[in-house]
Structure 1
């Protein structure tokens, strides 16, 4: 069973790497392909310059030691004068290669970040992902961190493979020509091995590389577990900061510290496992690093002692042998970084797969989904609507309702009956289920959650956030703020502050109502939208719906009995084993609704 599971995991890993390659290679196929290919060409040219510099220094090494052995002063002087030129050329080639490589990495990351971020943010996937996939709990870290960790090593890997292949080919030819053949007597027969230094370099690489691969085969899984635990730990710290006030008021310091340290214990556990794997790899690499400079000297020493080659040829062979080993061992030396790349590439591909799985077409194909369409008239129609969790469990079953223009509908029921899920489905945020939701053509909609979002910027930016029309006079904005009980903030309209921290919960909800007055949508969905406001303030805001926004259809979720005074009908959700049943009930006319009817009657044409 273990071999079968391991084989299955390797198959999944290969599939993920292939999918990631198709995703990331779009950089060379999309709108930025011209710049991508120019950067790639620049990197290849720089690799060629680096190789030329290495080759020049290798031959300089031979000429210098030959002149030293033969005590030729003029040749030594010429070589010494040539050295600074070669060093400058080599430094320039290395610098150019570094700049080209890092520029390519940055532009590639910029492209993939834009693609993933745009994919995540569009069509409310950032919201739907939180309820559709428990595995994708930290998409922001995958976009911010894993994209970089997946692309940077991949760029270096591609450049490293190119450099290693070309360098190894060139310097193996040097070993073949300089080292010549070696003769051995075996069982009375003389055996000649042509290019023995080249074959020795290949054999040495095979042995050293195999030892490192065997010692580090578990490093990929270790890196993946470490990255996941680090993301979880950062998320816990973020949660602590975002809920700082609530935690401080309840004196939850000790509990939070315990929870944070338990979370870090998982980080430490994952790190310790990776450290042990790194230590095992390091021991093999250390032995290789100590042995590789000496091995070629031992191989060529007999030829030097028998005067078959010069001292310069010995030094050139030793230098070429080391260069070949560095080229062939590039993969071995970068094994840990490749493991980091594999883990991050998997996580980026998992996110892309999860985002793709959220597409409505996929949902419709797999489970039918909730169908959205246009109503034949100006009514909102709900037909045989069943709303389900992503696991298929029905929350609300067989709901039917019609909402006319200007109607105010209260959605009520006990906790867990599916009120918020139902209104999210009507608002287009919850596609899991079946049935139809028909909306009037070109209807404008606004959804007000219990905790409205407060973006960064000025108070004006906060107030006009997401509004299609953003040109309002200061007088209009000041009047709107005053109507919503926020007149004291009018003088700070263009001041940049951390408004998400400055505004209390009630003020956030008042800001949301101010947005409604400015936007004037035709359909308004309120999900516990006045829960943080006192009774008097709640009554004042709901009166605005009946007066200033009398034309709008309002669907509100709430528990407070006083809310019924401001609504025309109530959709009561009664919990049942097969899903909550929706019961349509009329509400007794309140003073405010009677006043609204009189007001509308007075405005009607005679």
Structure 2
């Protein structure tokens, strides 16, 4: 896939809001609008409570200045009501905000995860892009980091606007105008405190913007390095046994150290930039409480305003100032938020590109169709890699209903890729694969997937809710040499993929086949971890319990031909492998070995 063009920040945010705003447009719109209304109501209530407390301060300090005891007590009697109103509005805002965050994140996570998982996009995405790292982390973590701060920032911005407008009006009304004489000219500045607050906030915001502008790209780079480091550690854990066997500790330690070195370098760039931002913010923090006092002091000394008015003006100026420098106080959070938005948006772009590519290239993809004679037909089938290189060229073959076909060929000839095409998860190529309609198909990979669950659920996977008698499950385990696991059917959930050996996992896959009784079975090296006697025992299932099933299997081990009646050979060539099909004769030795293996007493795997 070609490298995507550089996208502007405005486009990033527009694309993110396009998909995130579905919360207010889809089935959840009534809940979304109700929570939004609740948030706005509590923002208004909180601002009203703040205005009430601001006015209370003026009344209280005016009463103190006049030494009016009755007025002091009368003013004090209002304080509990104001504090209760403030506390309730803040509490209501916190609850409604958190509910909005949780529900919005739930909506977006469900949409993205469903989109990513459906139609094997999680599988195909790895072949189409090398730049998309850790999509699961983008869904699980970056969605949270894009939604939760966004709600808080939006509430903060709305509160800042309402607060600035409300308290600017108070400054206009209480502080009045400022007069000073320059020579013989008297200059009057109306509502000078409000003007001063705006000018001061503009200067502070500009300084923060210039200091923090490089932080956005640096935070995004840091998040990418963190994701790559996590992916490296996950790869190490998933391949722990292989690495330990070949004693690759030193190389892995070096690789992990190198990856984390990039994380540290990214963080150091952020630390340097944070130092510049901190200088601007701390300077502003030091001036913040002093400026309004210096501005109102001349009027107080001249007797133009009371002490209560001074307290009210200083509090109002601080409120306006805090509202107008909202950008300054939140610049770092905005940078981190935008970095997460970018990573979510990149995932959406890749998923959309994948879907658009699928639609545009339908004529160049392998077509999946139905056959009307019960057989599986490959017609003029060519299979290619996602980069266009042909693996299998112009193959035509039929596999009759109930046939047992073995796919053979040298390494790299496209056997496993052919299995993926039969499963419908490998679309690149051309030609047609026809499969009988209405028949169940089971795919058995070399390493069967065992989710963390009970043994019963694993045996029934992916239809874990199906009801199967214990006798049938015990019989399936016994037939596949796993009777010693029967007593563990309903124990607590375990990490069976780690507990069981490779051979036991493959036996579990055959036990699944016995319980599912599929019409078509496709296997890829499904007995590679078993000894020959165990392989003979399990493959004898296709002469007995699973005799009616159509079998397509890939394998290299000697003797596999004895268990099949058709051999499909892939001969590797520069222009793509060539496919040939031959009939195999069922030997008496195969019948004898299958029967004897199936009748042997089962033995736990060593």
TM-score, scaled to structure 2: 0.93
Return the match for 1:390 from 386, 397, 404.
386
Which residue of structure 2 lines up, in the alignment, with residue 329 of structure 1? 325
- Per-residue CA deviations over 1:63-115 (Å, capped at 9, x if unaligned) read 22222222222222333343343223222221221111111111111121122
- Report how many residues are paired: 590
Instruction: Report if the CA contact (8 A) 2:139-2:344 is conserved.
Output: yes
C-alpha spacing 1:300/1:592, structure 2 compared with 1 (3 Å): farther
Instruction: Mark the CA change 1:483 to 1:410 in structure 2 (over 3 Å): closer, same or farther.
Output: same
- Are 2:161 and 1:168 equivalent residues in the alignment? no
**2:539 equivalent to 1:542:** yes
Q: Is the CA contact (8 Å cut-off) linking 2:536 and 2:593 kept in structure 1? A: no
Distance 2:247 2:539 in 1: 35
Q: 1:422–1:174: structure 2 CA closer, same or farther, 3 Å change rule?
A: same
Q: 1:127 aligns with which of 114, 123, 127?
A: 123
Q: Residue in 2 aligned with 1:155? A: 151
Aligned match for 2:438, one of 410, 423, 442: 442
Q: Tell me, yes or no, if structure 1 residue 318 matches structure 2 residue 317.
A: no
Query: What's the CA shift for 1:592?
Result: 5.8
- Describe how 1:341-420 pairs up with structure 2 within 5 A: 341-359=337-355, 362-366=357-361, 368-420=364-416
For the 8 Å contact 1:130–1:137, the answer to whether it is kept is: no
1:61 counterpart (57, 64, 88): 57
**How far off is 1:141 after superposition?**
0.9
Distance 1:121 1:114 in 2: 10
On the 8 A contact 2:443/2:521 being kept in 1, the answer is yes
Alignment deviations for residues 26-54 of structure 1 (CA, whole Å, 9 cap, x no partner): 11111222111111111111101110111
Q: Does 1:513 align with 2:510?
A: yes
Determine the C-alpha separation between the residues in 1 that align with 2:99 and 2:464.
37
Give the equivalent residue in structure 2 for 1:555.
552
Is 1:525 aligned to residue 533 of structure 2?
no
Secondary structure of the structure 1 residue equivalent to 2:551: strand
Structure 1 counterpart of 2:231: 235
**1:572 maps to which of 560, 569, 574:** 569
User: Which residue of the partner structure matches residue 10 of structure 2?
Assistant: 14
Distance 1:94 1:556 in 2: 65
Q: Is the 8 A contact 1:208 1:288 kept in 2?
A: yes
C-alpha displacement of 1:126: 2.4
Contact 1:565/1:591, CA 8 A, preserved across alignment: no
What stretches of structure 2 of length at least 5 have no aligned partner? 596-606
Residues 566 and 592, structure 1, Cα contact 8 Å, conserved in 2:
no
Other structure's SS at 1:471 match = coil
TM-score (norm 1): 0.93
CA-atom RMSD, angstroms? 2.2
- Give the SS at the match of 1:547: coil
| CA-to-aligned-CA distance 1:387-429 (integer Å, 9 cap, x gap) | 1222222222212111111111222222222211111011111
For residue 358 of structure 1, give the secondary structure of its aligned residue in structure 2: helix
Aligned partners of 1:264, 1:135: CA distance in 2, in Å? 19
CA distance in 1, matches of 2:212, 2:483: 65
Once the two structures are TM-superposed, the CA of residue 447 in structure 1 deviates from its matched residue by 0.8
SS at match of 2:491: coil
Q: Aligned partners of 1:580, 1:61: CA distance in 2, in Å?
A: 87
What is the distance in 1 between the residues matched to 2:421 and 2:582?
A: 21
Partner of 2:240: 244
Question: How far has the Cα of 1:186 moved from its partner?
Answer: 4.3
Q: Residue 521 of structure 1: CA displacement?
A: 1.4
Q: Structure 2 residue aligned with 1:32, among 28, 32, 44? A: 28
Mapped partners of 1:467, 1:56: distance in 2: 62
- Give yes or no for contact 1:546–1:596 (8 Å, CA) kept in 2: no
State the match for 2:456 in structure 1.
Answer: 460
Shift of 1:195: 1.2
Shift of 1:575: 2.0
Question: Are 1:142 and 1:348, in contact at CA under 8 Å, matched by a contact in 2?
Answer: yes
Give unpaired runs (5+ residues) of structure 1: 599-606
In the other structure, the counterpart of 1:603 is: none
Query: What are the superposed Cα offsets for residues 501-559 of structure 1, whole Å, 9 maximum, x if unpaired?
Result: 22111111111111111112122111111111111111211121233222222111111
Match of 1:279 among 269, 272, 275: 275
In structure 2, C-alpha distance between the alignment counterparts of 1:191 and 1:454, rounded to whole Å: 82
Quick check: 1:409–1:571 contact (8 Å CA) kept in 2?
yes
8 Å Cα contact 2:454/2:489 also seen in 1: yes
Q: What is the CA–CA distance in structure 1 between the aligned matches of 2:118 and 2:182, rounded to whole Å?
A: 73
Tell me if the contact between 2:202 and 2:325 (Cα under 8 Å) persists in the aligned partners: no
SS at match of 1:437: strand
The correspondence of residues 475-490 of structure 1 with structure 2, limited to 5 A, is 475-490=471-486
Secondary structure in 2 matching 1:409? strand
SS of equivalent to 1:451: coil
CA distance in 1, matches of 2:279, 2:113: 41
Query: 2:20, 2:586 → 1: CA distance?
Result: 61
Q: Is the 8 A contact 1:408 1:555 kept in 2?
A: yes
